[in-house]
Amino acid sequence: MSQSRTLMWTEAREAGQVVRRQVEANAGMMRDLGVRLRAYKPRLVLTCARGSSDHAAGFAKYAIETRLGVLVASHAPSISSIFRTPLRDLDGAVFLVISQSGKSPDLLTSIAFAKQAGAFVVAMINDANSPAAQAADVFIPLHAGPELAVAATKSYIASLSAIVHLVAEWREDHDLLGALVKAGDQIQTAFDLDWSNVGDALLDAKSLFVIGRGLTFGIAHEMALKLKETSALHAEAFSAAEVRHGPMAIVEAGFPVMMIAPMDEAAASFPALSEEFSARHAKVFASGGPFPGAVSLPTLAGIHPLLSPLCQVSSFYACAEALARARGRNPDSPPWLNKVTETQ
């Protein structure tokens, strides 16, 4: 897989620099927001997002619930935009909007309904001039800069780092804040790790599973989406806790599986699952191992559990870009897709 400089490669490689810039630029704003949230004492966080941003919201669910004990639920934008169902009793709730463009009509309608219901709206948006950024009570800029490739990379990682920053300030976690300062360099290092063995195995593949759990569940969904977008691979994401149900029935000899283990207690279920996949003669590749029967993907060690997923997805983006080119596809401009999707 020879390296050329596609937009996707260039933008994904910028993610570490983006995170360094974001953490520094947003420090005062995040500190103030942390003070405000501790005083506000939210009883609920409702996330509102689509596509890659919704996968970031999935990460936010586990980050907020495990570190802060605040329930996180997902608001389906169509409830507001299509069904026009009013939201009620959101006093004491945070409405967390995550978006690259901040322009999609369904997100804007959802924000309006949430504010009418009394929610405190926080928006993590890459475009500072977007309607969603203007409508929020608090706007958190992602600082990813222009992103031209259709497949979002640096803006996705920027969303994750903004979520981590929010959690760190909200709970006054000085260890996490210190780790976040180093995250940009670690993400950049992770991008250069060699995951080509999984890419080589997927050259002629038609489908695969991507397995995560907890903090890496949303990451697994993001990886599956990128493989669909850039390589036309039918990739499905599952939780390590759920894949043993119906999905396991289609795993047979040679079936590819990527396992993205978190660096916390949720990793405990991965060794037995890897052994089960291997017993079916699946091709198993794992980040966060080693696990029985799996080919280990290089993964940075000693990273804070909330930041390790950012490094894992950085390594994956380099692999996904090379795989798309090796399969004869242009990762910058997949067929039938647009950079900004405006959903009603």
* Amino acid 282: pLDDT: 96
| Mean per-residue pLDDT, 308-313 | 98
pLDDT tens for each residue of 85-114: 999 999 999 999 999 999 999 999 999 999
Q: Structural domain boundaries of the chain?
A: 7-190, 192-326
Report phi then psi at 156, rounded to 5. Answer: -70, -50
| Mean per-residue pLDDT, 210-226 | 98
Distance CA 209, CA 293 (A): 16
Report phi then psi at 236, rounded to 5. Answer: -120, 135
Residues facing 238 on adjacent strands: 211
Distances (CA, A) of 174 to 26, 66, 137, 277: 16, 17, 26, 40
Helix (H) or strand (E) holding 73: strand 71-74
Given a contact cutoff of 8 angstroms between Cβ atoms, the answer to whether 331 and 8 are in contact is yes
| Mean per-residue pLDDT, 38-64 | 97
- Of residues 97, 85, 78, the one with CA closest to residue 137: 97
Given a contact cutoff of 8 angstroms between Cβ atoms, the answer to whether 52 and 152 are in contact is yes
| Mean per-residue pLDDT, 166-179 | 98
* Amino acid 2: pLDDT: 43
Distance CA 17, CA 289 (A): 27
Flag whether pLDDT at 16 surpasses 50.
yes
How far does the chain reach from its first CA to its final CA, in angstroms?
40
Given a contact cutoff of 8 angstroms between Cβ atoms, the answer to whether 341 and 51 are in contact is yes
Mean of all residue pLDDT scores within the chain: 94
Helices (H), 102-173: 105-116, 131-135, 154-170
* Amino acid 341: pLDDT: 54
* Amino acid 245: pLDDT: 77
Distance CA 291, CA 298 (A): 13
| Mean per-residue pLDDT, 238-244 | 91
Distance CA 268, CA 126 (A): 36
Decide: residue 287, CB within 10 A, 0-12 exposed, 13-18 middle, 19+ buried: buried
Distance CA 134, CA 117 (A): 18
What would you measure as the largest C-alpha separation in the chain, in angstroms? 55
Given a contact cutoff of 8 angstroms between Cβ atoms, the answer to whether 245 and 239 are in contact is no
| Mean per-residue pLDDT, 68-77 | 97
Flag whether pLDDT at 340 surpasses 70.
no
pLDDT band at 336 (very low <50, low <70, confident <90, very high): low
Given a contact cutoff of 8 angstroms between Cβ atoms, the answer to whether 217 and 343 are in contact is no
Which CATH number does the domain 7-190 belong to among 3.40.50.10490, 3.40.50.2000, 3.30.470.20, 3.40.1130.10? Answer: 3.40.50.10490
pLDDT band at 246 (very low <50, low <70, confident <90, very high): confident
CATH number of 192-326: 3.40.50.10490
pLDDT tens for each residue of 111-139: 999 999 999 999 999 999 999 999 999 99
Q: What percent of the chain has pLDDT over 70?
A: 96
Report phi then psi at 241, rounded to 5. Answer: -85, -20
| Mean per-residue pLDDT, 269-286 | 96
How many Cβ atoms sit within 10 Å of the Cβ of residue 15? 28
| Mean per-residue pLDDT, 211-230 | 97
Flag whether pLDDT at 297 surpasses 60.
yes
- Of residues 174, 160, 178, the one with CA closest to residue 62: 160
* Amino acid 248: pLDDT: 80
* Amino acid 4: pLDDT: 59
